Amino acid sequence: MQVGTFIKTPCPHNAELLGMAGFDFAVVDAEHGPFDRTAADLMMIGGRAAGLPLFVRTADRTATNILWALDIGAAGIVVPHIDGVAQARELVASARFSGGQRGFSNSPRFGRYGATSIVEAMELGDRATILAQIESAQAVAEAEAIIAVDGLDGIVVGRADLALSMGLTDPGAASVMDATRHVLALARGQGKAAVVVVGRAAEAAVFKSMGATHVVVGSDQSFLRAAATAAV
């Protein structure tokens, strides 16, 4: 199981530090963190300096935000609020060259600043990992069909929003955990990435036993807050 974390602070040094700490990957959070394209672009440099693959959680599922996240050289994207098959197909179309509709230029970082041919750049671009975030009761109901969409590499279960969509405030509630187990099993059954977000490292073992292939543990902010609180 691979272990990553969120980065919610627009500081490339944080990407370097997390890479040095041994994380397998990190997710730049442009949905809930203060990241525009320029700030996220700088994060990619920090990640590359430490050999840390960086994903971008996009602000939304619009083609524009998907495009810039991939153009800056992200290892992949996590796209929030994919609630049905039609949205999953739109996501893949926006993110893929082959079989999709991703706008092309080989001049950004992913295309090595123009040092690639069109064919080479398309191949590089389509190596990015495309993940849909499952975080509503509707998405759980359609999860099998969402996961089956060709070109989608896997899913991320967001238990907080999932709980709220079910009228609950506890991501650890039995019904939320059952839904999470169900979605993770579907992803594993189709040979795709089964990712879950956890607040604390101690929770990871529970989801590993459910078949999670990746966990996203906490964030740079939560690690700083915990260490600072302990020091005080």
Residue 32 annotated as catalytic: yes
Q: Which residues contact 176 (CB under 8 A, 6 or more apart)?
A: 159, 162, 163, 166, 168, 170
Cα(192)–Cα(205) distance, integer angstroms: 20
Alpha helix (H) residue ranges in 136-173 = 137-141, 143-147, 159-165
The whole-angstrom separation of Cα 168 and Cα 49 is 41
How many Cβ atoms from other residues are within 10 Å of residue 133's Cβ?
24
Catalytic-labelled residue, pool 32, 81, 182, 214: 32
In a 3-state reduction of DSSP, which class is residue 181?
Answer: helix
Which residues are catalytic, by number? 32
